[in-house]
Structure 1
Amino acid sequence: MTNSPTTPRVAPMHYNARGNPVHTWTLTPSHITDPVHCILPPEGVLPVIFVPGIMGSNLKSKPEKGKGKKKAAPVWRLDAGFMGKNMWLAKNWIFKTAGERQKILHPLRAEVDRDGAVPKLAVGTVITQPELDKKKAALALTKRYRERGWGEVSETSYHAFLLWLEETLNNQFLPHQWPQFDVRPEHLHTVAVEPGPTHITRLKPEIPIAMPGLGANLASQLPSIISDELLARGDYRMPVHACGYNWLDSNKIAAQRLAERIDELMHQYGRNCQQVILVTHSMGGLVARRCAQLPGMSAKIAGVVHGVMPATGAPVAYRRCKVGMSDEDPIAGAVIGPTGQEVTAVFAQAPGALQLLPTQDYAPGWLRLIDNHGVSAMPRQPVKDPYEEIYLRRDRWWGLLREEWLAPKDGDPITWETFADNIKKAKAFHQCISGSYHPQTYVYYGSEAKYPSFESITWQMQRGSRLNGPHGSYPDSFTVSNLEMHQVRDDGRSPVYVGGREQPIPPMRGDPDAPVKTVKTSYWELHCKMQDGSGDGTVPVSSGSAPIKHARNGGVRQQIKAPGFDHEASYANPLTQQFTLYSIIKIAAKAKRPLCAG
């Protein structure tokens, strides 16, 4: 008679650096003869790679070569600080001048920083070998997350979602036990396992399975999940990775980096990894679309989930180059650029940022000028080509940028020719990805009156204050619409002034020591109006909903609009999380089967 434990013994499991399961067990006395169970996860591997939006990747300076040169240092770090707030960005960027921004945030002087903050919590397949030394265990976990690329992307914006996704996809590998799906007793049957009396529970085939988390509205827009799809997805473990990129450089370069990451992961996981799934946020969608066009890449991507992607660009990118962000969001604007001068100093030299401008596929006429009676004061722009008609326009005040802002004080000035070349790169990139979507594409976009977006940009003429200034007649609206850059007063904020000057106001009598105040006199004040459409606060509905209208060959399988979130926090919304899970299930069901399944 053996002295065996009364409960089954299960060997603890962790995953090594290659993502393979490893079981550990300490030898027991010989009189204990019951078996030790090594519970194996699925052999198939279908990695999920998250691709962030613009400004969502950590960046560092490139190290300078030679003795005495500066070492690499963080230049854009998105770690959560005190009470989850990113104090690093505020501390390092709020007081930066346009010239300092131009020097630091240059695409050739920055690269992805892999050493951002990572979670301290083990979830899903991110579990390491048990360690008695807590410090050693924490270091091992940090190393594993960094290997996953999580240190490359914003902790504040993305880590909570990535933790949820990793845990949801890899905590349990028996489909009928997944809590996100309404699996009922009538959906199940038992199957005998030979040899012996063992039985296992399985889902019946061809049964629609509800996803309560989608809610009634989304569920009514989407085909049901079928039990066969859950079973097919159950053949995989799905480790969640992230791939940051240098968002200052062209998205074409970012796409190449993503392709390299895909190849690295497929090599790492070996023969049982045939494809990957991409989940993107905002501009990351443009990166993924270009990546799928690279030689051999479409076949290596099982499918793509796009969240709040500016599919045809966003007019807000134009507006920020003209008047900055201070009137949209004073706090974010202090970091990104409160006026057009700070934004232009960076955007003009950053092809990636310029690729967010409205493309040739965006509805024409998104830029307009109206007079003080609300009547159109010029033909709406662009008529056809935004690149020549707006972005490269040097002879009208409403062109994209002022040439003198390319050379801010204490900066490293760029020429108009360099800026024009970056616009041409943006045009070529837009034309390249126009209508191009992976054959298994799922899309969600925001549509919420609470988070209005700029569908168009409207400049409105308002009577200025002349005080003791000139008393001639006001220039008419036609004249105003044709004024050149040097004929208006523009400090990178709204409004822009036509005529007049900055004029001192005499102090009140009896107070000669009172500070001198000034007023900006003018014939006209040209105000850049606020948001005029629905969306997510950044991407308007017309751009967010464009994929299904523009996709060639019907590549977009499902596209939904969802309320209740702003642009940056879209993946924190339970509905978008559930739609992402739904999409991953649908994609996995059609993915290449792992070689082990054959």
Structure 2
Amino acid sequence: VRAGFEDAKGNLMGAIERAVIGKTGKEVTAVFANAPGPLELLPSASYPRGWLRVQTSEYRQVMALPIASDEPLKTYRSEMQLHKTLGTTRPAAPVAVGDPLYDIYAREPDAWWRLLNPEWVNPANKKYEGYNPYGLATKRIAEAQSFHRNIQGLYHPTTYASYGADPYQKAFGAVTYRVNATGLKGFGDPLSWRLISEDGEGRIVVRAENRHTLQLRLEPPIDAGDQTVPSDASASRVRGTVVFRQSGYEHQNSYNNDKVLASLLYSLVKIANTAPWWKS
């Protein structure tokens, strides 16, 4: 979202989509933040944690969100209960709790890792009575995440599916930013860095604890998939009667692929054969 859509690299349909939906984060955010459909494509709480990462220039990982541990949330809830019952000091809210909505999507505007740039959400400067556009966008994200929780693990008992798991069709199983520093001594925790600027094409400038500026750059995707959906982190988790793991196509053009069409025809026939009237 923040870096826009990748160059289509000779794919005409991809080039058209990129021109319509947005080449940069500024263009994409204006559409994405105001439409429930795209927001439902964001990783949910059931997605493997730690998918937003920071690595040093020497490829050492120094941050991963949502955090893997549930302990900060458990501790906060325990201390909050003591605050309510015994009047102890109100605990400070944890920095991260292991949920993408809290850890990433709904962060304060100056958190460099937040999903949406508030300045890009409402380019027309439309007035909303009693609301601000950024608040409305985060509310839509929360609703999309709630939708995912409600359908988590729900599959029809007769489910047939296919997905791309092609190592040559890279997808973002994780979003990794590389910082221009070999180590973080003196720079502090990446979660303490404050945003200075971003260019909408994957480059972010932050101010570290020691007041020095650092640059982060979005790394290209490295996970097998179909250029859109990563196979291991997402598509392969579908539970079905039969699931076809395939290669040789990108997401948008999947139904132009013979293997996809063959698996679709097979699935339709198998599902049709479960109809009781068919056997009578």
Fold match (TM-score > 0.5): yes
- Aligned mate of 1:354, from 39, 47, 51: 39
Q: Corresponding residue for 1:427?
A: 145
SS of the equivalent of 2:275 reads: coil
AA in 2 matched with 1:399? R
Aligned pair 1:381/2:65, yes or no? Answer: yes
Q: Corresponding residue for 1:181?
A: none
Q: Corresponding residue for 1:452?
A: 170
Q: Corresponding residue for 1:93?
A: none
Report the alpha carbon displacement of residue 371 of structure 1 after superposing the two structures with TM.
1.6
AA in 2 matched with 1:565? Y
Aligned pair 1:324/2:4, yes or no? Answer: yes
Give the distance between the partners of 1:496 and 1:588, measured in 2 at CA.
Answer: 52
Give the distance between the partners of 1:581 and 1:572, measured in 2 at CA.
Answer: 13
Instruction: Judge conservation of contact 2:54–2:178 (CA < 8 Å) in 1.
Output: yes
Residues 352-404 of structure 1, C-alpha deviation per residue, up to 9 Å, x if partnerless? 110000011110000111122222222x1002211111100115201111222
Report the alpha carbon displacement of residue 326 of structure 1 after superposing the two structures with TM.
4.2
Report the alpha carbon displacement of residue 560 of structure 1 after superposing the two structures with TM.
1.5
Give the distance between the partners of 1:563 and 1:576, measured in 2 at CA.
Answer: 9
Residues 91-114 of structure 1, C-alpha deviation per residue, up to 9 Å, x if partnerless? xxxxxxxxxxxxxxxxxxxxxxxx
Report the alpha carbon displacement of residue 458 of structure 1 after superposing the two structures with TM.
0.3
Report the alpha carbon displacement of residue 454 of structure 1 after superposing the two structures with TM.
0.7
Give the distance between the partners of 2:177 and 2:8, measured in 1 at CA.
Answer: 16
Q: TM-score, length-normalised on structure 2?
A: 0.76
* Total equivalences in the alignment: 233
Aligned pair 1:399/2:111, yes or no? Answer: no
Give the distance between the partners of 1:328 and 1:498, measured in 2 at CA.
Answer: 29
Aligned pair 1:492/2:200, yes or no? Answer: yes
Instruction: Judge conservation of contact 2:21–2:31 (CA < 8 Å) in 1.
Output: no
Give the distance between the partners of 2:189 and 2:117, measured in 1 at CA.
Answer: 19
Q: Corresponding residue for 1:478?
A: 188
Give the distance between the partners of 1:462 and 1:327, measured in 2 at CA.
Answer: 24
Instruction: Judge conservation of contact 2:194–2:206 (CA < 8 Å) in 1.
Output: no
Give the distance between the partners of 1:498 and 1:545, measured in 2 at CA.
Answer: 36
Residues 68-120 of structure 1, C-alpha deviation per residue, up to 9 Å, x if partnerless? xxxxxxxxxxxxxxxxxxxxxxxxxxxxxxxxxxxxxxxxxxxxxxxxxxxxx
Instruction: Judge conservation of contact 1:377–1:478 (CA < 8 Å) in 2.
Output: no
Structure 2 CA distance for partners of 1:580 and 1:523, relative to 1, 3 Å: same
SS of the equivalent of 1:335 reads: helix
- Aligned mate of 1:537, from 212, 220, 227: 227
AA in 1 matched with 2:100? P
Instruction: Tell me which stretches of 4 or more aligned residues in structure 1 moved more than 4 Å.
Output: 326-330, 474-477
Aligned pair 1:412/2:142, yes or no? Answer: no
AA in 1 matched with 2:274? K
Instruction: Judge conservation of contact 1:449–1:535 (CA < 8 Å) in 2.
Output: yes
Report the alpha carbon displacement of residue 477 of structure 1 after superposing the two structures with TM.
4.4
Give the distance between the partners of 2:187 and 2:62, measured in 1 at CA.
Answer: 5
Mind listing any 5+ residue stretches in structure 2 that lack a counterpart?
68-97
Residues 530-561 of structure 1, C-alpha deviation per residue, up to 9 Å, x if partnerless? 1110000100012111112xxxxxxx210120
AA in 2 matched with 1:388? Y
AA in 2 matched with 1:338? K
Residues 502-549 of structure 1, C-alpha deviation per residue, up to 9 Å, x if partnerless? xxxxxxxxxxxxxxxxxxxx943210001110000100012111112x
Structure 2 CA distance for partners of 1:476 and 1:339, relative to 1, 3 Å: farther
Q: Corresponding residue for 1:20?
A: none
Report the alpha carbon displacement of residue 405 of structure 1 after superposing the two structures with TM.
1.7
SS of the equivalent of 1:489 reads: strand
Give the distance between the partners of 1:381 and 1:327, measured in 2 at CA.
Answer: 27
Structure 2 CA distance for partners of 1:458 and 1:328, relative to 1, 3 Å: farther
Residues 248-288 of structure 1, C-alpha deviation per residue, up to 9 Å, x if partnerless? xxxxxxxxxxxxxxxxxxxxxxxxxxxxxxxxxxxxxxxxx
AA in 1 matched with 2:231? V
- Aligned mate of 1:547, from 210, 233, 238: 238
AA in 2 matched with 1:324? G
AA in 2 matched with 1:449? P
Report the alpha carbon displacement of residue 416 of structure 1 after superposing the two structures with TM.
2.4
Instruction: Judge conservation of contact 1:369–1:481 (CA < 8 Å) in 2.
Output: no
Structure 2 CA distance for partners of 1:540 and 1:416, relative to 1, 3 Å: same
- Aligned mate of 1:343, from 28, 46, 59: 28
Instruction: Judge conservation of contact 1:451–1:536 (CA < 8 Å) in 2.
Output: yes
SS of the equivalent of 2:245 reads: strand
Mapping of residues 2-401 of structure 1, within 5 Å: 321-327=1-7, 331=15, 332-378=17-63, 380-383=64-67, 384-394=98-108, 395-401=110-116
AA in 1 matched with 2:59? G
AA in 2 matched with 1:406? V
Give the distance between the partners of 1:435 and 1:370, measured in 2 at CA.
Answer: 32
Structure 2 CA distance for partners of 1:590 and 1:480, relative to 1, 3 Å: closer
Identity over aligned pairs, percent: 34
Q: TM-score, length-normalised on structure 1?
A: 0.37
Rg (Cα) greater in structure: 1
- Aligned mate of 1:589, from 270, 273, 276: 273
Give the distance between the partners of 1:360 and 1:340, measured in 2 at CA.
Answer: 24
Residues 400-456 of structure 1, C-alpha deviation per residue, up to 9 Å, x if partnerless? 112222232x35365222112201211111011111111211011101122111110
Mind listing any 5+ residue stretches in structure 1 that lack a counterpart?
1-320, 464-473, 500-521, 549-555
Instruction: Judge conservation of contact 1:326–1:334 (CA < 8 Å) in 2.
Output: no
Instruction: Judge conservation of contact 2:166–2:248 (CA < 8 Å) in 1.
Output: yes
Report the alpha carbon displacement of residue 479 of structure 1 after superposing the two structures with TM.
5.0
Structure 2 CA distance for partners of 1:483 and 1:328, relative to 1, 3 Å: farther
